[in-house]
């Protein structure tokens, strides 16, 4: 109501995070700042181990930053869990629950009556290409379907912000492209605000409105690039010169940071 249209959905201001480890402090996040607007899809890439998941945990309210600000709709959101639905790197579907029951988990935890929660989840099964698998168990589904179920479980919670931690990281490249294509389509129909971690540069450019490149640990924002490719995007957009130009810019920065990350591994801590 009182929220101005101009207020970003998420504001991260100079966030630092360090962990106590045996023999000292490990600086993981080192002054990260960026904003995410309402309805925007932002991709975050960075070398592995740089602190992407840590940043997500802070945004999900699971960890508190050592210093810095996190705001959602202009209000302090440190330690607040209600704004965000979180899709972890692993699908984490419980084998003792059917797919419909798994997808309803978030609602059930939030106190929605079981049958109502499952009904709400079932209503999305067609959109997520899972029709007919409501009563199957996770181990009966392919990797791509499991990932869609995990995404359904995230979306159905009806929260304002979706945090997707490498949602397609475990899939083979063909399934992955199909999933990206599908997600692109579903996205166009909804007004979801989302931040997605990925280490696939093409995935980031293809799906996102903006790509943020993080540096090696201790991490900070190296690049914050607007992706101006028109929507809906066809798969063929990948071969366009505009796409190639952005890709080149991102690859260069990312590889530079990955090299640093590798050297860092050599020095331990």
Partner 1 sequence: MTAVPAQDEKPIPETAHLRRARRPRLPSWVGLALPPLLISLGILAAWQIIVDHFELRAQILPSPIRIVTAGWSQADIIWGHALATLQVTAVGFTAALVVAWIIAVAVDFSPWLRRGIMPLLVASQTIPVIAIAPLMIIWFGFGLLPKVIVVALVTFFPVTVGLIEGFAKTDREAGALLSSMGAGRWKLFRYARLPSALPSFFTALRISIVYAVTGAIFSEYVGAKSGLGIYMSMQKNAFRTDLVLAAVAVTAVVSITLYLSTFLVERLVIPWASKERRARRGH
Residues that bind Mg ion in the complex, under the rule CB under 5 A: 53
Cis before 218? omega within 30: yes
Closer to partner 1 at the Cβ: 9 or 176? 176
Smallest separation, CB 140 to ligand ADP (Å)? 30
- Residues ≥6 apart with Cβ < 8 Å to 229: 205, 237, 240, 242, 243
Chain centroid to CA 21: how far? 27
- Residues ≥6 apart with Cβ < 8 Å to 117: 104, 107, 108
Residue 82 binding: pick among partner 1, ligand ADP, Mg ion, none (C-beta 5-8 Å cut-off by kind): partner 1
**Of these, 34, 133, 168, 206, which contacts partner 1 (CB under 8 A)?**
133
Closest-by-Cβ residue to Mg ion is: 53
- The helix, strand and coil proportions of the chain, stated in percent and rounded to the nearest 5, come to 35, 25, 40
How many residues bind partner 1, per CB under 8 A? 46
The whole-angstrom separation of Cα 113 and Cα 57 is 28
Closer to partner 1 at the Cβ: 33 or 181? 181
49 binds ligand ADP (CB under 6 A): yes
Strands (E), 22-142: 24-36, 41-45, 67-72, 75-76, 84-87
235 binds partner 1 (CB under 8 A): no
**Stretch of 23-31, 42-50, 66-74, 76-84 lying at the interface with partner 1 (CB under 8 A):** 76-84
Residues binding partner 1 (CB under 8 A): 57, 60-62, 81-82, 84-86, 88-90, 92, 94-96, 105-106, 108-110, 127-129, 133, 136-137, 139-145, 157, 174-175, 178-179, 181-182, 185-186, 188-189, 232
């Amino acid at each position: 109501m009182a929220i101005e249209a101009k207020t970003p959905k998420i504001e991260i201001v100079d966030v630092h995070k360090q962990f106590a480890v045996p023999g000292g402090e490990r600086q993981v996040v080192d002054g990260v700042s960026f904003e995410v607007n309402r309805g925007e899809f932002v991709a975050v890439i960075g070398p592995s181990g740089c602190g992407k998941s840590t940043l997500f945990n802070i945004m999900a309210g699971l960890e508190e930053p050592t210093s810095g600000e996190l705001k959602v709709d202009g209000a302090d959101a440190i330690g607040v869990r209600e704004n965000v639905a979180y899709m972890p790197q692993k699908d984490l579907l419980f084998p003792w629950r059917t797919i419909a029951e798994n997808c309803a988990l978030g609602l059930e935890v939030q106190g929605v009556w079981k049958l109502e929660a499952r009904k709400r989840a079932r209503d999305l099964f067609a959109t997520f290409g899972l029709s007919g698998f409501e009563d199957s168990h996770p181990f009966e589904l392919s990797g791509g379907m499991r990932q869609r179920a995990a995404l359904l479980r995230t979306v159905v919670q009806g929260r304002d912000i979706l945090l997707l931690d490498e949602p397609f990281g475990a899939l083979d490249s063909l399934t992955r492209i199909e999933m990206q294509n599908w997600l692109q389509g579903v996205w166009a129909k909804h007004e979801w605000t989302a931040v997605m971690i990925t280490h696939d540069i093409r995935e980031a450019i293809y799906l996102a409105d903006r790509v943020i490149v993080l540096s090696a640990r201790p991490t900070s924002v190296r690049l914050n690039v607007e992706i101006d490719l028109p929507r809906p995007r066809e798969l063929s957009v990948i071969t366009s010169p505009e796409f190639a130009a952005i890709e080149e810019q991102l690859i260069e920065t990312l590889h530079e940071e990955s090299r640093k990350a590798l050297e860092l591994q050599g020095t331990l801590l």
